Amino acid sequence: MQFYRWLLLAVVASALSGCATPRGLNSSARRFEFGRDTFAYANELVWEYSVDPLTGQTTAHHRDPRPDYTLHCFVLARTARQFFEHAHFDPGSPKADEATYRKLIHEIVARTPRRLSSESERVVIPGYPNLREFSEANERLLKNECGGAWQSYVQRGNWRMIFPFSRGHQKRTAQQLKEALARNWPPVVHIVRFPTLAVNHAMLIFDFSEEAKEIHFRAYDPNNPSAPTVLRFDRVTSTFFLPPNSYFAGGRVDVYEIYSAVNY
């Protein structure tokens, strides 16, 4: 009986994949810039991690004191793109009050992350030149209004992580990410190692460079707003690799794009 349940789930997933809409004609007039289009604050970690340099084994313990803004990586990656897609910052206008900014934030996060607004449709944010400075000055407000941690658990593309990722799939993903970036469209990706929980994370890809055997994708990692992360794709093995950091020992990962179609 369990086999037939999994078979049915696979058939449904396949059907949904067939209905998926591509990123389509989304194309921005400017590129996503790390120093202006990202949040100034981090998605904090519930755990502190350490890696044994000899064995590579990772150990973890709860952070003390417990951070108050955790499990928001999907929210930050998605909302960074929503501001890129739907906001126009106007530093020449006077700063507004908190109630006005709250209303403007709600209007931006209510819009789909799957479509770019025209210039005339954009929400005007007065008094600031970009999201980085706006979030630095209004951290508490943005944390409260951009969405809760529960949104990471109900993201519509989470179903995909339970199915195997072929090397062909990962090769196509790398190509699709390059094509999106050529249109100045910054993809948001889900990075996993299912069924392990070694990493289960969201990032926004904003640039890439190529070598003979590798593609280096530069990413905004919500856990580290101070500098870009490099997600490496090995052309020979058709495999993505994430370097060691404060929450992952480093190594192979599986990658797929989210906030991109009706079922993702």
Give ∠ CA 258-34-51 in degrees, rounded to 5: 75
Residue 155 has pLDDT above 60, yes or no: yes
pLDDT average, residue stretch 11-24 = 43
pLDDT in tens, 185-211: 999 999 999 999 889 999 999 999 999
Indicate the pTM of the whole model: 0.87
Residue of higher predicted confidence among 197 and 115: 115
Per-residue pLDDT, 154: 86
Among 8-12, 100-104, 135-139, 182-186, the minimum mean pLDDT is found in 8-12
Residue 20 has pLDDT above 70, yes or no: no
Residue 121 has pLDDT above 70, yes or no: yes
pLDDT in tens, 53-93: 666 566 665 555 677 899 999 999 999 999 999 999 999 99
Residue 19 has pLDDT above 60, yes or no: no
How far is it, in rounded angstroms, from Cα 51 to Cα 49?
7
DSSP state of 54: T
Q: State how beta strands 239-242 and 224-234 pair.
A: antiparallel
Residue of higher predicted confidence among 150 and 78: 78
Percentage of residues in the chain having pLDDT higher than 70: 83
Per-residue pLDDT, 50: 61
How far is it, in rounded angstroms, from Cα 263 to Cα 233?
25
**DSSP reduced 3-state for 227:** strand
How far is it, in rounded angstroms, from Cα 190 to Cα 203?
7
How far is it, in rounded angstroms, from Cα 254 to Cα 143?
29
Among 43-47, 55-59, 253-257, the minimum mean pLDDT is found in 55-59
Instruction: Quote the mean pLDDT of the chain.
Output: 88
Contact 186, 172 (CB under 8 A): no
Q: Which of 246, 235, 183 is nearest to 25 (CA)?
A: 183
What pairs with residue 251 in β-bridges? 242
Q: How far is CA 122 from CA 105, 108, 211, 254, in A?
A: 12, 9, 37, 34
How far is it, in rounded angstroms, from Cα 133 to Cα 116?
22
pLDDT average, residue stretch 100-120 = 97
Band (226; pLDDT cuts 50, 70, 90): very high
How far is it, in rounded angstroms, from Cα 146 to Cα 110?
9
How far is it, in rounded angstroms, from Cα 154 to Cα 212?
39
Q: What is the DSSP string of 154-186?
A: S-TTGGGGGS---HHHHHHHHHHHHHHHHTT--
pLDDT average, residue stretch 126-147 = 98
Q: Which of 215, 205, 209, 179 is nearest to 34 (CA)?
A: 205
DSSP state of 117: P
Lookup: tokens for 23? 């990123």
Q: How far is CA 54 from CA 49, 51, 144, in A?
A: 15, 9, 42
Per-residue pLDDT, 25: 58
